Structure 1
Amino acid sequence: MSLDAQGWTLAMMLLSGLGMGLVFDGYRVISNELRFSRWWIPVLDLLYWTAATIIVFRVLFESNDGEVRAYVFLGLLIGICCYFWLFSRPVIALVRWLIRAVRKMLHIGASIFELVIIKPLFLIYRLTRVILGVLAALTIFLFKIVLQLTRPLWLLLGWLLGPVLRPLGRLMAPVAVWWDKGKRVRAVGGFFSRLWKRWF
């Protein structure tokens, strides 16, 4: 392999080491800030190292057709050390600032949503309940007034129709008694029918 190809591979491994350190710090800060459960940590570690291994070997394959040499590991080690020496603290501070900014934006968005959507809907709901309650009370009040005003008319009508309604009521009394007995007979028949179906 030519010297240029080796230098290119070394540079790619150096960048891969920097990327591994960057992703590791970001993942570590996010997991701490979001307070993942302890049993998630081994799973996330496994996912991180699996993804890092696949990406590094993919980069290595694109650089020198996948040839593993000592300078490959040297480039990775130098990249990781340079990252943690020069960039780790600024990256951690930046990731924490981004998390706080996202949380602040979400909080502002939720406040705006509550102010623009939730509170007007709740106000409309309460106003509708008040209006309906007032209309129902007004309707009942007017109905009572109408009943009071028409009560003499109903009394007069009952007094005028009394001679007709009383004989009619006496004529309908046997029918009412028969209907009441018929309902009782049907109820008893239904009871025995249900018993028959349940037992047989």
Structure 2
Amino acid sequence: MNPSVQWITLLWMLFSGAAMGVAFDSYRVLAGQLHFPKWSKHTLDFLYWIAAAFFIFRMLYFTNNGQLRFYVFVGLFIGVWIYFLLWSVITQRFVVMLIQVTKSILSFLYKLFRMLLWNPIKGILMLCLGLLRFLWKFLLSLLRLVLKCLMPFWRLLKWMLRPITSRVRLPAWSKQLADKVIKAWKRWF
């Protein structure tokens, strides 16, 4: 392997080490801000290291066909070290700012959704429900009025048919059914 490929590999490993630092700081800030459960932190750490290993070996394969040399580890270490010296605090603040901006945008979108869609639909449904209740009560009161107006005619018809109905014997089940209908009628009206 010629020296130019080695220097390119070293530079890419410096970059990869810095990228690992950015990813680690971003993950750490996200885990702190989003309050992941404690049991999931070990799994997320494991997934981070697997992703970092795949990323490093992909970069290594891209730069020098996957040859692993000592200067690769030196480049990774120096890249991570320089990143943590110079850029770690800036990255953490940037990620916190991104999280706050994302939260405020989501809060705004939620309020906009509630104001433009949810509240009008809820209002229309409540209006329709109120109208249905009003119509139901109106129909019941109208039916009561009609029944009160027809009550004298019913009593007259009952009095006129008394000689016939007194001789007719109805089965017991029809009496029970009539009692149930009368109870339901009295409960509603």
TM-score by length of 2: 0.82
Question: What is the percentage of aligned positions where both structures have the same residue?
Answer: 35
Residue 152 of structure 2 is matched in structure 1 by 152
How many residue pairs match? The answer is: 173
Residue 172 of structure 2 is matched in structure 1 by 180
- Give the secondary-structure state (helix, strand or coil) at the position aligned to 2:112: helix
- Give the secondary-structure state (helix, strand or coil) at the position aligned to 1:66: coil
Structure 2 counterpart of 1:135, which letter?
Answer: L
Q: Which whole-Å CA distance do the structure 2 matches of 1:39 and 1:130 have between them?
A: 49
For structure 2, the 5+ residue unaligned runs are 174-189
Q: Answer with 1 or 2: which has the greater Rg.
A: 1
1:28 aligns with 2:28: yes
Residue 136 of structure 1 is matched in structure 2 by 136
Residue 38 of structure 1 is matched in structure 2 by 38
Q: Which whole-Å CA distance do the structure 2 matches of 1:45 and 1:155 have between them?
A: 87
Structure 1 counterpart of 2:76, which letter?
Answer: L
1:166 aligns with 2:158: no
How many angstroms does 1:31 deviate by? 0.5
Structure 1 counterpart of 2:172, which letter?
Answer: D
Change (3 A) 1:32 1:156: same
For structure 1, the 5+ residue unaligned runs are 182-200
CA-based RMSD of the aligned residues comes to 2.0
- Per-residue displacement from partner, 1:59-85 (whole Å, max 9, x unpaired)? 112212222222211211121112112
Q: Which whole-Å CA distance do the structure 1 matches of 2:99 and 2:165 have between them?
A: 87
TM-score by length of 1: 0.78
Q: Which whole-Å CA distance do the structure 1 matches of 2:141 and 2:68 have between them?
A: 94
Structure 2 counterpart of 1:167, which letter?
Answer: I
Q: Which whole-Å CA distance do the structure 2 matches of 1:144 and 1:82 have between them?
A: 88
